[in-house]
Amino acid sequence: MKNVFDFDKNLAIAAPPAHDLLWRDGKDPVFGASGSDALAEPGYTRMTKAERAYIHKVNEGEAWLAEQSTGIQMRFETDSAQIFVRVKLRSKYDMTNMTQIGECGLDLYVYDEGLRDYGLIEVARYYPIDATEYELSLGRFDTQPRKLRKYILNLPLYMAVDELQIGLDKDAEVHAVPYGDKMRVGIYGTSIVQGCGASRPGLSPANVLSRRFDAEVYNFGYSGCAMMEKEMGEVLGDRKLDFLIVDVEPNAGVDARMRDNFEPFFDAYFERCPAAPVVVYSRVLFALDLYDPRRRAMAEYYRDFLRSEVKRYARRGYDIHFVDGGKVFTEPTKTFRGNYTEYTLDGIHPNDVGMMLLTESYERAIRRLRH
């Protein structure tokens, strides 16, 4: 049976052969793995084993999703003419509203002097699509002058990575690249924060913000499970972040849980991290809002609730602020505007344009409130 590869060779996956590679574990210090405080443990998880066990008692989903690698990245500099990866995934590609690259793949950025920024060089796409292991090339500079180049390798958004190796020229120089900004940002949120709807890892809000600030950004997005439990407030507070964004209404705001959990969550968080700025978002607009009066009414209720609760905590002296997420897709910014339903992939989750609009809003909030 024919397929598209028979007619469009540009879509075919034909990795060039690797020559004289030295393979290293992705956690080798020379690759500068970051985006998690659990990297000393097996795999690429976002919470430690002890934290996952603690959270599991109140929210099994957050504990399970914490094993997925979204937001974890490698930042390194090398003069290797070729960069290969070997990846062992926990499971196979199976999501209906994510690309294979976004759920299970990686993407590689290289710093470009002309752009004066990191630019995409390659993505990890593999065949057959139900594979759980792959080895492929992510970058080749064998036709370019050999020199040190800076890279960022972003891990999958919706998959647990059990093993990762990086292959470079045997004689290549390689070392980690530290962040230029020592600020540590955390984003606690839903599937949207985890990256659902982004076509590839580098376009999730946490990874875009990390490049824009040249800072470590922790992705605490837990798809369908961000319910603001007191225990999660404790875990996040123990991180001693410099800035926290809380954007959980699409999960906790579908019933009474956000109302019931708001105070215990923030009391636990501020007990451990009382001085760092916090921004609380109401949710973005959904295309589904157009024809669902109950959904609209619930969003209006929680927008007013969140604004009121944030003011109450601010009066207690905490550096906490509210942003109306309903304006993210409608207020003018440098990104184009139009029909806001075009900014979602499936009526709820932002597509790449929607992700950029949300990221720009997060970025403005952080720049405005940084001490």
- Residue 319 counted as domain residue: yes
Q: Is the omega angle on the peptide bond into residue 16 within 30 degrees of 0, that is, cis?
A: no
- Residue 277 counted as domain residue: yes
Query: Is the pLDDT at 2 greater than 90, yes or no?
Result: no
Domain termination site, one of 133, 161, 176 = 176
Domain termination site, one of 176, 193, 213 = 176
316: buried, middle or exposed (CB in 10 Å: 19+, 13-18, 0-12)? Answer: exposed
- Mean per-residue pLDDT for 249-269? 96
Query: Is the pLDDT at 246 greater than 90, yes or no?
Result: yes
Provide the pLDDT confidence category of residue 1 given band limits of 50, 70 and 90: confident
98 and 17 together in one domain = yes
240 and 172 together in one domain = no
pLDDT 10s digits, 175-194: 999 999 999 999 999 999 99
Domain termination site, one of 154, 176, 198 = 176
pLDDT 10s digits, 140-175: 888 889 999 999 999 999 999 999 999 999 999 999
Domain that holds residue 264: 227-369
Q: Provide the number of structural domains found in the chain.
A: 2
Give the pLDDT of residue 337. Answer: 63
Mean pLDDT of the chain: 94
Assign residue 313 the CATH number of its domain: 3.40.50.1110
The count of C-alpha atoms lying within 13 angstroms of the C-alpha of 256, restricted to the half-sphere facing its C-beta, is 1
- Residue 324 counted as domain residue: yes
pLDDT 10s digits, 87-123: 999 999 999 999 999 999 999 999 999 999 999 999 9
Query: Is the pLDDT at 256 greater than 80, yes or no?
Result: yes
CB count in 10 Å sphere of residue 319 = 16
Ramachandran quadrant class, 240 (left: phi over 0; alpha: psi -120 to 50; beta: rest): left
142 and 255 together in one domain = no
Query: Is the pLDDT at 242 greater than 70, yes or no?
Result: yes
- Residue 93 counted as domain residue: yes
14 and 152 together in one domain = yes
- Residue 190 counted as domain residue: no
Give the pLDDT of residue 127. Answer: 85
- In the chain, DSSP finds a helix count (H) and a strand count (E) of 10, 15
Closest of 219, 35, 73 to residue 153, by C-alpha: 73
154 and 263 together in one domain = no
152 and 285 together in one domain = no
pLDDT 10s digits, 301-350: 999 999 999 999 999 999 999 999 999 998 765 555 668 888 999 999 99
119 and 239 together in one domain = no
167 and 232 together in one domain = no
135 and 266 together in one domain = no
Contact present, 45 and 69 (Cβ < 8 Å): yes
CB count in 10 Å sphere of residue 53 = 11
Query: Is the pLDDT at 18 greater than 80, yes or no?
Result: no
Give the pLDDT of residue 7. Answer: 74
Give the pLDDT of residue 332. Answer: 60
